[in-house]
A and B are shown apart, each in its own frame.
Chain A
Amino acid sequence: MVFSYDYSELPQIVLVEIFSYLKHNDLLTASSTCSSWRNVLYHPKLWSSIPYRCLRLNLIDRHNDIQSFRYLTNNFLSITRYIEISFDPTDINIIKSILQILDTLSCTNRQIKILIFRPTSTRCALAENEQPFIPLCDKIYHLLEQIVESNQAMEIISFGCWFESLFRIEEIVHVLAQKQSQSIQQLHLASIKSSETHSIADIYLSSQSFLPFSSLNTLSIDATYFTNELLHCLVQQSASLKRLIVHVCEFRSDTQPIDETVWHSIASIMPNLRVAVHMLNAHETFRKYSRVLRPGMPLSHLRMYFCSSLNVDLLCYLSVHYRSTLECLDVIDSVTEPALRYHNLFRAEPDPLVLLAWQCKKLTSLTILGYEVLEVNLLAIAKLRPQLRRLNVCADCVMTLQYGHLQMNRQFVEDEDGNDAFIQYGICTNSIQTIIGQVLGWQWHPLSKHEIPIGVYEYTVPLELSFIEQIHNIFESSM
């Protein structure tokens, strides 16, 4: 007998079952075969099983693929549970599209669990003194409020440092505390402000607003709001807090540093808590830094972007106070001519970076861009911390130093006891690279220009372009 079979005629419920076993790429393939298989894509079940399928919308270049954007928003906005929106907030037309997306979401979708914004910049579409700025922030707030009010159990919300959305942060936290306090697990409220672009007067946020959140395990917030009271509120209600990310953009004179004793008591109540501090364009003396970097804080990640402030004091402080918690140190500064120095390498003392690598037993990631680093110190760091998974330096900043005598005929003769020094930049011999690679157990090389964030070499580019994407990734992953 000849069977007549037509796989495109399988009942939709069966097709949904088949497709639910497919990963992203295979789902694309399957839905490109015929129209009935294509229609299966629109079944809510494919968008509701855990892990949630992410609807990624890209609104970075207005003219790029409008058709695809329309297709996605028309068909999936109402059924997706996980939406991630990447966009350019400096283009007013893109902002209009964002408002439309938020409007559609608030009207048609009751199932959003994960809402993530990824603006590519911290600049506004409108200058702050332009009349429509505040109404725009209001509009955004009202749409967000509707989304929060009409959805059942949101789990993760990240504003991605989108300035306009955080303008009414107090009210957003308030409405979240009213409607989503039991389900919210991750909340990313931190922003990146710079006094050049944002001259907004203080935006108030009371610590008490955080009391109702009972399932919060991750919170990112500006240092302005990071006070003793906030910590007390977080600890009181939610012993589930695991990650805290603090953004420092400027050092205000009225910031209250957190008591050491508070940190010590927190460490005993919440032993799993890890804190990440991000310093963004915050040039300051070491003394000011120590107002945020308090002893007793379970600091696991310190990232300093374009602060030009790495020095011996800071490195020693880190080695002393965070030797049992620090896992990651990222320092990214512009490569200048000559490069920045964190240490006077002609002093006889051991290099403070090497000391830090030695002391911090949990260190697995070290990035120092824009500062001179001696080749031999890199080797020492690798040998002292062979468990490093990341060791990033600029190839241009790697130095070798030889002592000797400079002869009358301009010849240099090597001699350990010599008084002259011969310095070379940008040299990291293959043999050293190989040895470091062997010690670490993976292929190592110093980073070339194209592997380094753009702002390190390009001074005309807005600095946040170098790190905003990384910060978004940090919000979404495990630090």
Chain B
Amino acid sequence: MAEDKIKVATSDGGILEVDLYIAKQWQPVKLIYEVLDSTNVPENPIDLDAISTETLKKIIEWSNHHKQDEADSADNSENDRNHGEISPWDKTFFNIKQEMIFEIIVAADHLGMTELLDMGCKTVANMIKGKTPEEVRQTFNIPNDLPPLQTAQPITSNENQ
């Protein structure tokens, strides 16, 4: 039923209701259903302890939007992925704090959501493009633990590739 919902518990103690259709795309949920071997909604909320409430809300928002995309045509998303293009909606979606992008990427990896992970990685890649190493460190708050001599070019610097 389109109305089927399921409860999930997050790392900071929140409990959210999610469409079953969306939740079943997540690895941990899939596993549980395979083990239980039933289409019944489990009584207790499923524990997604690595993901915070806020992150999960964003992920559900993304899934809701892209649920329609998938219904329209399965091919479209494939093309987007290959061309490295991020749709305008996704650009807005990822226009958030670094911390949240990080959380979403880690969560997408954990939940096995390859498309969301792709989008997240592309977003991060776009944020690296055109910057100097120091600027990248500042953008992502990366501590520099390289010994001073090793900042030279790792690959010979001939032309472009």
Contact = CB atoms under 8 A, between A and B. Distances in A.
Interface stretch (A4-12, A349-357, A365-373): A4-12
B141 interface: yes
Interface stretch (A30-38, A202-210, A417-425, A435-443): A30-38
Given A29-B133, A30-B128, A14 B144 contact: no
A41 B143 contact: no
A11 B110 CA distance: 11
A24 B155 contact: yes
Interface string A48-61: 00010111111000
Nearest to B54: A1
A401 interface: no
Q: How large is the interface on B (under 10, 10 to 19, 20 to 34, 35 or more residues)?
A: 35 or more
B161 A35 contact: no
B103 A29 contact: no
Interface in B63-109: 84, 98-100, 102-103, 105-106, 109
Contact of A33 (B100, B125, B126, B144): B144
A22 interface: yes
Interface stretch (B1-9, B23-31, B37-45, B116-124): B116-124
Given A14-B105, A26-B130, A33 B155 contact: no
B161 A22 contact: no
Contact of B121 (A6, A17, A41, A53): A17
Contacts of B118: 17
B84 to A, nearest CB: 6
B146 A25 contact: no
Given A18-B124, A24-B160, A31 B154 contact: yes
Contacts of A92: none
Nearest to A7: B140
B104 to A, nearest CB: 11
Contacts of A26: 125, 128-131
Interface of A: 1, 3, 5-8, 10-11, 13-14, 17-19, 21-35, 37-38, 41, 51, 53-58, 68, 71-72, 76
Which 8 pairs show the lowest CB-CB distances between chains A and B? A21-B125, A7-B140, A5-B102, A32-B133, A3-B99, A24-B161, A56-B156, A18-B121
9 contacts: A7-B102, A10-B106, A21-B122, A22-B128, A24-B161, A32-B146, A33-B140, A33-B142, A54-B161
